[in-house]
Amino acid sequence: MSLKRGLKGINVKEGKPTEFRIGIKTRIFNWSLDRAIRAKGWTRPQTAKACGVSMQTLFSWLRFQRYPKENKKLEVSVALGVPDEILFPEEIQGLRIESQPEPVSFGKEEAMVMNMLSPEVNPEQLAIEGSLRDTLQEMMEGLTEREKLVLKIRFGFDGEGYKTYDECASSIGVTRERIRQIEYKALKKLRLSSLVFSKLRDFWVGD
């Protein structure tokens, strides 16, 4: 079974913003697995290492794109200290999330009515930041899943901080030179230098 795209609400408008709006992005993921990892106090790379898998495999579990085999489920359960029927119940084995729900947005007046804005908030600054986030999101859509993964880990978009080539290689399970090649190709597609791209980290709202 698959989850169809789209949330009920006001869809985010395409193109450059013509008015201030507040965006809400919903992400569907394996909450139990994520909580178990957080309870351990582990980073994603530490979790992947403890479970004996690559970062790409771990992310596919979190996103309901793949599921571990029976022996691996038991191994993960032991590593995290949570029963496998809680982490990967049989009832969800057929669930596949093909794409995440579309973001929704609210105008300034709607946000005010819902008390989403305070007098201290600068709407113009929020609009600029929102535009940068949308632009970055659109740019990343042109990359392959592996290219996205390398950039997220390398530049700290996964919330774990900037990583060296060697650290990235260890997390993903490829060579240091392969990481460098993937990074170079991805940044070339984006037409950005590594320095400029690293400055955009605060505007990333993806997985």
Q: Classify 131-207 by CATH class.
A: mainly alpha
154-190: string of b/e by CB count within 10 Å (b at 16+)? bbebbeeeebebebbbbbbebeeebbeebbeebbeeb
Q: Which two tokens stand for residue 55?
A: 């970062």
pLDDT at 83 over 90: yes
What pLDDT was estimated at residue 11?
44
Q: Which two tokens stand for residue 196?
A: 């400029």
What pLDDT was estimated at residue 131?
59
pLDDT, one tens digit per residue, over 111-147 is: 665 555 555 656 666 565 555 566 666 677 778 888 8
What pLDDT was estimated at residue 125?
61
pLDDT, one tens digit per residue, over 147-203 is: 888 888 887 766 666 788 888 888 888 899 999 999 888 888 877 655 555 555 555
What pLDDT was estimated at residue 6?
35
What pLDDT was estimated at residue 120?
60
For the chain, what are the domain ranges? 31-92, 131-207
Number of Cβ within a 10 Å radius of residue 34? 14
pLDDT, one tens digit per residue, over 46-81 is: 999 999 999 889 988 998 888 999 999 999 999 999
pLDDT at 12 over 60: no
Q: How far is CA 152 from the centre of its chain?
A: 8
What pLDDT was estimated at residue 119?
56
Higher pLDDT, 196 or 17: 17
Fill in the amino acid letter for 79: A
Can you name the CATH fold of 31-92?
A: 434 Repressor (Amino-terminal Domain) (1.10.260)
pLDDT at 9 over 80: no
